[in-house]
Amino acid sequence: AQSVTQLDSQVPVFEEAPVELRCNYSSSVSVYLFWYVQYPNQGLQLLLKYLSGSTLVKGINGFEAEFNKSQTSFHLRKPSVHISDTAEYFCAVSATGGGNKLTFGTGTQLKVEL
């Protein structure tokens, strides 16, 4: 089984400042890693994913994440945030074999302020 820990439930940040949203995972098997964004009363949209290869992954809207196997982390970063980035962000994992079932963290609410 897999589990995901998102250490920060809320992250306030000023517009144009950098941000990092933290994600740690636990798994006894190899995993794929994902970040999703959810706007109010919406479904989830895929931001980026790590499958294999380069540990630095770039996604949509200027976000990137780095896979660190030794620390079992997959932190999400953006060098300069915009008001429109205000949303809930979810880290998720799935085992590399079978089903594609996702296990999500509890989410981090990113609030961008002027």
Partner 1 sequence: DTGVSQNPRHKITKRGQNVTFRCDPISEHNRLYWYRQTLGQGPEFLTYFQNEAQLEKSRLLSDRFSAERPKGSFSTLEIQRTEQGDSAMYLCASSLAATTSGYTFGSGTRLTVV
Q: What are the E-state strand segments in the chain?
A: 2-5, 10-14, 19-21, 24-27, 31-38, 44-50, 56-58, 64-68, 73-78, 87-95, 103-104, 108-113
Q: How far apart are the C-alpha atoms of 58 and 40, rounded to whole Å?
A: 24
103 binds partner 1 (CB under 8 A): yes
Question: 């294999």: which residue's tokens?
Answer: 52
67 binds partner 1 (CB under 8 A): no
Question: For residues 16 and 111, which CB has a smaller minimum distance to partner 1 in the complex?
Answer: 111
42 binds partner 1 (CB under 8 A): yes
Piece in contact with partner 1 (CB under 8 A), picked from 11-19, 29-37, 60-68, 72-80: 29-37
Given candidates 17, 51, 56, 60, which one binds partner 1 under the rule CB under 8 A? 51
Question: For residues 13 and 44, which CB has a smaller minimum distance to partner 1 in the complex?
Answer: 44
107 binds partner 1 (CB under 8 A): yes
Q: How far apart are the C-alpha atoms of 57 and 50, rounded to whole Å?
A: 6
Given candidates 23, 31, 34, 85, which one binds partner 1 under the rule CB under 8 A? 34
104 binds partner 1 (CB under 8 A): yes
Question: For residues 28 and 100, which CB has a smaller minimum distance to partner 1 in the complex?
Answer: 100
Q: How far apart are the C-alpha atoms of 94 and 3, rounded to whole Å?
A: 10
